[in-house]
């Protein structure tokens, strides 16, 4: 638990080499930091940092709503407080928007960018309406049985082929409050990165599942078109391939981060 400018954050750090930048990771909506643990464990020598967004997991909710720029500043203040001069930044789904905002807002601090199963915000081509409706509530994080029943439908990919894969993911969930979840939804209302993506100069790896019911591949293709130094890699899986296949995901990310 770390006090960052008056906001208490629950932070997770995976130790790694000190002679290369650490990886700062932003989780998906409603997701507590434990859900990233399989991916973190699969990283070989990369130091990695993640924190619960205020109102999610173990980070107390703020009194007032926030915007992506507010959270990016909070994350920047955290890594400075932890002693990092420069980091690589990754974001999954909702966290991918926050990763884009961080890279734009703090270009000197963000060396490389990894965007996973994400979009450019409000201009995105959304998934099926019945899938998006299930994402409007944090029920899947408070009711493990419900999560198991809808995982294949909302996440696709390996969850369709092996329903038991969701068990480990569900076991790591810590209940997201209605208020904390609502703050995340409200925070991204009207936000889009499209006007300034062309300004991002970080080498960027974009990863997208070919069977993603939430954020179809066309959104990743748009990001890859608009970000100057972007590379798109398609994964034969669903929205949460970092969960279903953390070893392969970590290997791809580390290979990119280690490139000159």
Q: Indicate whether 78 pLDDT > 90.
A: yes
Phi, then psi, of 14 in degrees rounded to 5:
-105, 120
* Domain membership flag for residue 150: no
Tell me if 241 sits within 8 A of 160, measured CB to CB: no
Give the model's confidence band at 137: pLDDT under 50 very low, under 70 low, under 90 confident, else very high. low
Among candidate residues 135, 101, 136, 106, the one with its CA nearest the CA of residue 119:
101
- Grade residue 175 by pLDDT with cuts at 50, 70 and 90: low
Domain CATH number, residue 233: 3.40.50.1820
Domain, as residue range, for 228? 2-126+176-257
Determine, yes or no, domain membership for 152: no
Instruction: Outline where DSSP puts E strands in 37-143.
Output: 48-51, 87-92, 110-116
Residue 57 placed within a domain: yes
Catalytic residue, chosen from 59, 69, 90, 93, is 93
Tokens of 123: 């201009």
Residue scoring higher pLDDT (84 or 166):
84
Helix and strand numbers, DSSP H then E, in the chain? 12, 9
Number of structural domains, the chain?
1
For residue 166, tell me if it sits in a domain.
Answer: no
59 as an active site residue: the answer is no
Among residues 30, 55, 7, which one has the least CA distance to residue 179?
55
Q: What is the C-alpha to C-alpha distance for residues 124 and 59, in angstroms, rounded to an integer? A: 29
Burial grade of 75 (CB within 10 A; 0-12, 13-18, 19 or more)? buried
Q: Give the per-residue pLDDT at 147.
A: 76
Look at residue 133 and give its three-state secondary structure: helix
Whether the pLDDT of residue 219 is over 80: the answer is yes
Assign 179 a pLDDT band (cuts: 50, 70, 90): confident
Residue 193 near residue 124 (C-beta atoms within 8 A): no
DSSP 238: -
Q: What is the SS3 assignment for 243? A: helix
What integer is the mean pLDDT of 190-212? Answer: 96
Q: Are 157 and 241 in contact (CB under 8 A)?
A: yes
Q: What is the mean pLDDT of residues 14-41?
A: 93
Tokens (6 digits) for 225:
């078109």
Is 93 within a domain? yes
Instruction: Summarize the confidence of residues 18-31 as an average pLDDT.
Output: 94
Q: Where does the pLDDT of residue 178 fall: very low under 50, low under 70, confident under 90, or very high at 90 and above?
A: confident
Mean pLDDT of 40-46: 95
d(CA 64, CA 73): 15
Indicate whether 133 belongs to any domain.
no
Give the global pTM.
0.91
Q: What is the pLDDT of residues 82-126, one digit of tens each?
A: 999 999 999 999 999 999 999 999 999 999 999 999 999 987 877
What are the Cα distances from residue 128, in Å, to 42, 83, 214?
32, 43, 7
């Amino acid at each position: 638990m770390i006090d960052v400018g008056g906001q208490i954050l629950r932070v997770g750090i995976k130790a790694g080499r000190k002679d290369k930048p650490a990886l700062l990771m932003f989780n998906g909506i409603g997701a507590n930091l434990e859900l990233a643990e399989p991916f973190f464990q699969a990283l070989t020598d990369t130091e990695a940092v993640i924190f619960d967004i205020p109102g999610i997991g173990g980070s107390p909710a703020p009194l007032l709503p926030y915007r992506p720029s507010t959270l990016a500043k909070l994350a920047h203040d955290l890594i400075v407080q932890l002693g990092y001069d420069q980091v690589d930044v990754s974001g999954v789904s909702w966290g991918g928007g926050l990763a884009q905002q961080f890279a734009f807002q703090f270009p000197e601090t963000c060396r490389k960018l990894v965007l996973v199963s994400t979009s450019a915000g409000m201009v995105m081509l959304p998934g099926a309406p019945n899938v998006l409706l299930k994402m409007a509530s944090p029920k899947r994080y408070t009711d493990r049985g419900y999560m198991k029943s809808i995982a294949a439908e909302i996440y696709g990919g390996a969850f369709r082929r092996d329903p038991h894969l969701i068990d480990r993911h569900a076991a790591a969930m810590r209940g997201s409050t209605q208020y904390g979840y609502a703050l995340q939804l409200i925070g991204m209302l009207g936000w889009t990165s499209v006007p300034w993506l062309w300004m991002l100069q970080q080498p960027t790896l974009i990863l997208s599942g070919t069977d993603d019911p939430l954020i179809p591949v066309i959104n990743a293709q748009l990001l890859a078109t608009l970000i100057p130094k972007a590379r798109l890699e398609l994964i034969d899986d669903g929205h949460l391939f970092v969960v279903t296949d953390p070893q392969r995901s970590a290997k791809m990310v580390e290979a990119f981060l280690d490139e000159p």
